[in-house]
């Protein structure tokens, strides 16, 4: 069900990432304007880094991919879960949990000790999803880099 993106699929990753930024502009560390101008080489490089994982749930019956998630090993032993997004019409169907599990499994395969993430303090649906997946609040708080008026909350899942 979840498909790890390859360099050859850079356009799929680009298109779903841009859809996510259009849908939820304050939920990510980058903006639509920044990402829309990224060249093919930038998207390929993003996918090909050895400590990075991008996955999506492919299209079904000619539709667009329904979800996206990323992970990267920011520091040895800790994988950062990033860029989780599910198309509005697929929300509430378990897609988010499948995508989170994909990153957790990738982290386990890398022998990581934990998976960490940041989410908007106001996003109670995402918080509930992460809690169902075993994450807990770290008491970390920081302003969203793209909008200093919004606050992010840190969460962690020990592996």
Which tens digit of pLDDT belongs to each residue from 35-56? 999 999 999 998 988 678 888 8
- 0.85 exceeded by the pTM? yes
Measured CA to CA, the distance from residue 157 to residue 36 in angstroms comes to 32
Q: What is the CATH number of the domain that holds 16?
A: 3.40.630.30
Domain that holds residue 47: 3-158
Please provide the average confidence, as pLDDT, over all residues in the chain: 92
pLDDT digits 0-9 by tens, 22-35? 999 888 888 899 99
Rounded to 5°, the CA angle 114-30-111 comes to 15
What secondary structure does DSSP assign to 59-90, as a single string?
PSTT----EEEEEEEEETTEEEEEEEEE-GGG
Q: How many domains does the chain have?
A: 1
Measured CA to CA, the distance from residue 66 to residue 70 in angstroms comes to 14
């Amino acid at each position: 069900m979840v498909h790890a993106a390859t360099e050859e699929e850079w356009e799929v990753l680009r298109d779903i990432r841009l859809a996510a930024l259009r849908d939820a502009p304050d939920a990510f560390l980058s903006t639509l304007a920044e990402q829309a101008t990224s060249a093919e080489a930038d998207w390929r490089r993003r996918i090909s880094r050895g400590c990075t994982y991008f996955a999506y749930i492919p299209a079904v019956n000619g539709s667009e991919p329904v979800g996206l998630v990323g992970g990267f090993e920011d520091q040895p032993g800790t994988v950062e879960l990033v860029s989780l997004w599910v198309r509005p019409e697929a929300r509430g169907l378990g897609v988010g949990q499948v995508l989170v599990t994909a990153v957790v499994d990738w982290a386990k395969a890398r022998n990581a000790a934990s998976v960490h993430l940041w989410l908007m303090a106001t996003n109670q649906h995402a918080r509930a999803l992460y809690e169902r997946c075993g994450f807990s609040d770290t008491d970390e708080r920081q302003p969203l880099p793209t909008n200093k008026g919004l606050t992010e909350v840190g969460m962690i899942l020990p592996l």
